[in-house]
Amino acid sequence: LRPARSPRDRRPPAPPRAADGDVLLDAGNVTKSYAGADRELPVLEGIDLQVRAGEVVALLGRSGSGKSTLLRCLAGLIPVSSGTVSYRGTPLTGANPGTAMVFQTFALLPWLTVQQNVELGLEARGVGALERAEAAVGAIDLIGLDGFESAYPKELSGGMRQRVGFARALVVEPDVLMMDEPFSALDVLTAENLRGELMELWESGRFPTRAIMLVTHNIEEAVLMADRIVVLGSRPGTIRETFEVGLERPRQRNSAAFEELID
């Protein structure tokens, strides 16, 4: 996807591609509290989590368990209260340069076309107009929206809007693709299609992303998509349990086990 770079391109030079198993994200003893009216509201406590190249990690938990908070901390969109988050060994000081996010409610700008929405992330990184256009058209094509470059979000179905959300994330070629309940605003069939297509693209290596983090409260979705499931307990977001859902185990693993754990 990535075109040649102009001198104004402020993206850091891409580090060598991570080998399978290399640690991309590393959270060490992470705590996060939000300021409440009269006291701090603790949300995450003592979170240790690593995400390695080659894996799809699902972050599963009930509403309010801190999934979005943890994902935002890992993406460097909000600061942790204590502990550290590193990307490929370097502690974050702001937005994580190796991640891009797909949001539940798409977060598209309604006054911009599909292509302009997709170009936003590249614009922020100082990529020139021609290169932006070329990369955006490539990402739009990849995600199945060829021909809709000039459409506005309101002209698109929910599933197509979320495709724009995916294109906007993929166009920056993140090492780790972060998704916060990306399918939960979509109807069941649309979600199933998009999920299937994304996993097919990922498995065929048609975008250079090296790991995927999926936040979901949908147990079936986690079991279907993830290599590893991290369960967040509901009271102060301590990771309660992690499961490896691998080829050696049935993907249709009994979800009752998870039901109990996320209670």
List contacts with Mg ion (CB under 5 A): 68
Residue 43 binds ligand ADP, judged by CB under 6 A: yes
∠261-106-179 over CA atoms, to 5°? 40
Distance of closest approach, residue 39 Cβ to ligand ADP, in angstroms: 12
116 binds, among ligand ADP, Mg ion, none (CB under 5 to 8 A by kind): none
Q: Which is nearer to ligand ADP, 61 or 174 (CB)?
A: 61
Given ligand ADP, Mg ion, none, residue 52, with its beta carbon under 5 to 8 Å by kind, binds none
Q: How far is the CB of 65 from Mg ion (least distance, A)?
A: 9
- Please list every residue from 46 through 75 that binds ligand ADP, using CB under 6 A: 61, 63-69
Q: Which of 41, 124, 129, 257 binds ligand ADP (CB under 6 A)?
A: 41
Residue 212 backbone dihedrals phi, psi, to 5 degrees: -125, 135
Report the nearest approach of ligand ADP to the CB of residue 141 (Å).
Answer: 32
Q: Which does 69 bind (CB under 5 to 8 A by kind): ligand ADP, Mg ion, none?
A: ligand ADP
Select the binding partner of residue 76 from ligand ADP, Mg ion, none (C-beta < 5 to 8 A, by kind). none
CA–CA gap between residue 218 and residue 42 (Å, rounded)? 24
Of the two residues 131 and 221, which places its CB atom closer to ligand ADP in the complex? 221
- Which residues make up the interface to ligand ADP (CB under 6 A)? 34, 41, 43, 61, 63-69
